[in-house]
């Protein structure tokens, strides 16, 4: 089995068969991660550059762990201390990477479309989008899907609600694409200022402005991180008020009288979008998501490397 693509730019570009293949491969790597020796030689002699133009501790560490457990050589590059401050264009960076004959690039960038631009100019270098602007964060959606399947047995027909700032969330967009492709039903919930108009028609999702209603509807609630810095943009009145209206509290959850799986992509703002007794409660699979992240990223790197060697 092979992926239909040489890059992982977004869930939008994947076939359902690609998604299934990644999730099945991740299940095998998750088994490897339970062993005392978690390292396999699959990507020996492969060089991967982690090109992070935005800070991200957990995503960077998760990718670097995945790379090292596959025995790849890794080079880290972060925006601070980069040619970015010398005003180099992304095109020149791309060309330099191409010239240095790097095998794969994992890229996070604040500009939507940056990894697509990279892929267009580097057809023979595997490009993995680790989050681009407000567009996509495909490995997050894949690990979320893996975690839902692991917990509930499948995606088909499951009802998943994404709660929070849908407007600016690349996690939300990647999740919506993936869940819809795999036959799940999707709802988005949050304050009207943080939900794009016409999202129902554009993406085929349900919309709710009432978090209680959303919870009563769903099997799984994926609670998104509120970007604290958006407070200044008057998209919501205050963190306290957001918590009261849309935060997931124990009292709210217990009032639903239904088993709901609780997810969060992290890092958590405890007491804002989710209370600690929910984040750490029995419904939560937040830490399984982190663990599954390494397995899913190993799967993506492994499959793209196979694609690459086939091409050459």
Closest CB to a copy of itself among 206 and 277?
A: 277
58 binds a copy of itself (CB under 8 A): yes
192 binds a copy of itself (CB under 8 A): no
Q: Please identify which residue in 5, 20, 82, 152 interacts with a copy of itself, judged by CB under 8 A.
A: 82
Structure tokens at 146: 């893996």
Q: Please identify which residue in 1, 28, 31, 39 interacts with a copy of itself, judged by CB under 8 A.
A: 39
Given a contact cutoff of 8 angstroms between Cβ atoms, the answer to whether 267 and 58 are in contact is: yes
Q: 3-class DSSP state for residue 51?
A: strand
Binding residues with a copy of itself: total (CB under 8 A): 52
Longest CA pairwise span in the chain (Å): 59
Instruction: Report d(CA 106, CA 15) in Å as an integer.
Output: 21
Q: What is the closest distance, in whole angstroms, from the C-beta atom of residue 95 to a copy of itself in the complex?
A: 5
Given a contact cutoff of 8 angstroms between Cβ atoms, the answer to whether 70 and 302 are in contact is: yes
Identify which range of 9-17, 76-84, 112-120, 245-253 contacts a copy of itself by CB under 8 A: 76-84
216 binds a copy of itself (CB under 8 A): no
Name every residue whose Cβ is closer than 8 Å to that of residue 145 and which is 6 or more positions away in sequence: 19, 23, 155, 175, 178, 179, 182
233 binds a copy of itself (CB under 8 A): no
The Cα-based distances of 113 to 56, 133, 165, 191, 311 in angstroms read 18, 8, 20, 27, 24
Identify which range of 29-37, 166-174, 183-191, 252-260 contacts a copy of itself by CB under 8 A: 29-37
Q: Please identify which residue in 125, 140, 174, 269 interacts with a copy of itself, judged by CB under 8 A.
A: 269
Preceding peptide of 158 cis, ω within 30°: no
Closest CB to a copy of itself among 180 and 270?
A: 270
Q: Of 9, 229, 278, whose CA–CA distance to 117 is shortest? A: 9
Q: Which residues bind a copy of itself (CB under 8 A)?
A: 33, 36-39, 45, 47, 49, 55, 57-58, 61-62, 64-65, 68-69, 73, 75, 77-78, 80-83, 85-89, 92, 95-96, 98-102, 228, 266-270, 287-288, 290-291, 293-294, 309, 312
């Amino acid at each position: 089995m092979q992926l239909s693509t040489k890059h992982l730019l977004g869930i939008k570009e994947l076939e359902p068969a690609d998604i299934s293949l990644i999730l099945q491969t991740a299940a095998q790597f998750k088994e490897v991660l339970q062993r005392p020796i978690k390292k396999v030689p699959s990507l020996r002699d492969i060089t991967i550059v982690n090109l992070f133009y935005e800070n991200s501790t957990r995503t960077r560490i998760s990718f670097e762990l995945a790379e090292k457990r596959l025995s790849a050589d890794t080079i880290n590059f972060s925006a601070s201390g980069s040619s970015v401050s010398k005003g180099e264009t992304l095109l020149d960076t791309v060309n330099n990477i191409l010239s240095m004959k790097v095998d794969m690039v994992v890229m996070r960038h604040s500009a939507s479309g940056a990894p697509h631009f990279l892929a267009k100019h580097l057809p023979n270098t595997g490009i993995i989008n680790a989050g681009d602007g407000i567009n996509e964060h495909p490995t997050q959606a894949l690990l979320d899907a893996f975690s839902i399947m692991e917990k509930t047995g499948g995606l088909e027909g499951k009802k998943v609600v994404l709660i929070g700032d849908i407007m600016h969330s690349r996690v939300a967009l990647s999740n919506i694409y993936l869940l819809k492709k795999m036959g799940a039903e999707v709802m988005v919930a949050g304050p009207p200022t943080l939900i794009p108009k016409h999202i129902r028609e554009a993406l085929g999702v349900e919309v709710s402005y009432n978090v209680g209603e959303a919870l009563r509807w769903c099997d799984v609630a994926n609670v998104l991180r509120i970007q604290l810095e958006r407070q200044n943009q008057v998209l919501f009145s205050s963190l306290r008020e957001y918590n009261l209206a849309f935060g997931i509290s124990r009292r709210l959850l217990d009032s639903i009288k239904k088993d709901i799986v609780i997810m969060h992509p992290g890092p958590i703002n405890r007491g804002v979008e989710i209370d600690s007794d929910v984040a750490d409660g029995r419904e939560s699979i937040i830490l399984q998501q982190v663990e599954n992240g390494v397995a899913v990223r190993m799967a993506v790197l492994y499959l793209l490397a196979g694609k690459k060697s086939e091409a050459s």
